[in-house]
Structures are given as structure tokens and as C-alpha cells.
Amino acid sequence: MTNIYRDALLAQLRSLKAIRLDEIDINTVGELSKIKINQSLPTEERVRSLLEQVRNPYFYKHGDVLVKMSFADNGRTLQSCLEDYLVSEVQAHR
């Protein structure tokens, strides 16, 4: 990924992230079940494909529900967070 492309992409992502849920028209957001990414493509092409399909990677719709995603800058993966949550739920209900 070239520096110019990366910098432009980061600027675009910052502006997309700043949009509030109440500013989004649900009809302009990609349906989660219809998003298809060809894993054999290089990373830059996969990112481009995702952005073309969803228009804003911080929002998606699941049926009639609009969802805004956010990411913590703490290095933890979603899988790790979910595993910790499930373990705590199991322990709480023993």
C-alpha cells in the first residue's frame, strides 16, 4: 500500500468514524449478510472492496437494525473480548 493511498484512506476513515448514528440513512448502509470479500486478493484490494460494499466500515445493517461499530485502541481482539465475557458469564452463573 503506497503512503499516499494509506494517508488518504486514514483521513477518509477518520471522517467516517466521526459520523453519528442519527446522521446515517439506513438505506445507504451495506447489509452485513451481503458483504463478500475475496480473501485471495491483496490487502489493498480487499479494503477497497469492503469500502465499496459498505461505504462506511463503522456502520452496517442487519435486517432493519442499524449498527455502529467502534474499536478500542488497546490491542485486544474481538475474539479475546468475547471469550473473556463468556468465561465471566459462566462463572457468574455457577
Instruction: List, for residues 57-87, the tens digit of each pLDDT value.
Output: 888 888 889 988 877 778 887 778 878 878 8
Q: Is residue 87 assigned to a domain?
A: no
Looking up cell 483521513 gives: 11
| Domain assignment of residue 19, given as a range | 3-69
Distance of alpha carbon 33 from alpha carbon 50, whole angstroms: 13
Q: Is residue 91 assigned to a domain?
A: no
Looking up cell 488518504 gives: 8
pTM of this structure: 0.62
Q: Is residue 35 assigned to a domain?
A: yes
Q: Is residue 85 assigned to a domain?
A: no
Say which residue, 29 or 3, is predicted with more confidence.
29
Q: How many domains does the chain have?
A: 1
Structure confidence at residue 1 (pLDDT): 57
Q: Is residue 76 assigned to a domain?
A: no
Instruction: List, for residues 39-52, the tens digit of each pLDDT value.
Output: 999 887 888 888 88
